[in-house]
Amino acid sequence: MPNDRPVKVQFFDSVHIRTAWDEGEEKWWFSIVDVVATLTESVDATAYWRKLKQRLKAEGNETVTNCHGLKMKAADGKLRITDVADTEQLLRIVQSIPSKKAEPFKLWLAKVGSRRLDQLQDPELSIEQAMLDYKRLGYSDNWINQRLKSIEIRKELTDEWKKHGLQEGPEFAFLTDVIYKTWADKTAKEYKQHKGLKKENLRDNMTNKELIMSMLAELSTKEISEAVQPQTLDDHEDVAKRGGGVAKQARLKLEAETGKKVISSQNAKQLRLLSQSQSKKTTGRTAK
């Protein structure tokens, strides 16, 4: 099981449980320590799991033997290997944990699996789930709408690249960097450093203005590609520069008109705090 699987957070009783979706096998992997912490409310879930694992191994429990390790973000923000289990394995482990939350957790586990399979059949459900996830994280409705639109536009661009035979991975990353470098004067890596990010998603840390400019750059790249039908990677690089150039002109024009920079050093945490602060001020004015 590769270690580069996208990791997201699921919520059980408002408690974070780290998960990763396996596209190849079409199943979830769950952080066992997070589940143990949720069910036992132990002050040291890692130690609890370590002792439980030793006991289950001694009993010859094959479920524990077959558990995988996967890199997930720890509480300190660093990626660390943690034991994960799929739904079937997790149910067997839960059986070994005395907890009044065991039955509600099993129902939640079933819903998580069912919801993902439904989303594969109906993409609109994935969008609804994304909205709920962003809301739980504290993003404003306005930002969420922009972010979901940016996902749609990005998908249209990557579909255009796939149609021309470009490969996901290095070629997509290269062209994305060309677009960023053109409109924002920064590669994706430089942009993330500017915001103090490491493994976090860059777009999840953009302001509304940044998202709009990024969307304009990618939409323009897709439209130009459809018009000129690039054949080689060099041709696609030229198209990416032209698409990014459209957004750069818009960025410079906006900065000239407002006297404010579009490229921000703010990250998601700061954006959410700002949004919450503004919400409180609005509520306070309404109350008066």
Q: Average pLDDT for residues 235-259, to the nearest whole number?
A: 98
Place of tokens 């789930």: 129
Q: Which two tokens stand for residue 242?
A: 């032209």
Q: Give me the chain's average pLDDT, please.
A: 82
Alpha-carbon distance of 170 to 174, in angstroms, equals 6
* Beta carbons within 8 Å of 263's beta carbon, 6+ residues apart: 184, 185, 186, 191, 194, 210, 251
**The pLDDT of residue 2:** 44
Q: Which two tokens stand for residue 224?
A: 């130009």
The domain spans of the chain are 7-121, 127-287
Q: Is the pLDDT of residue 49 over 80?
A: yes
Q: Average pLDDT for residues 195-199, to the nearest whole number?
A: 83
**H or E stretch at 179:** helix 170-184
% of the chain residues with pLDDT over 70: 80
**The pLDDT of residue 139:** 82
Residue 87 carries which side chain, given as an amino acid letter? Answer: T
What is this structure's pTM? 0.56
Binned at pLDDT 50, 70 and 90, residue 4 comes out as very low
Q: How far is CA 96 from CA 90, 92, 101, 147, in A?
A: 10, 7, 13, 41
**The pLDDT of residue 188:** 92
Nearest to 194 by CA among 262, 258, 257, 254: 262
Alpha-carbon distance of 233 to 230, in angstroms, equals 8
CA atoms 223, 228, 230, 235: torsion sign: negative
Neighbours of 194 (CB within 10 A): 16
Return the higher-pLDDT residue of 47 and 169: 47
Full 3-state SS string of 194-255 = HCCCCCCCCHHHCCHHHHHHHHHHHHHHHHHHHHHCCCCHHHHHHHHHHHHHHHHHHHHHHH
* Backbone torsions φ then ψ of 7, nearest 5 degrees: -105, 135
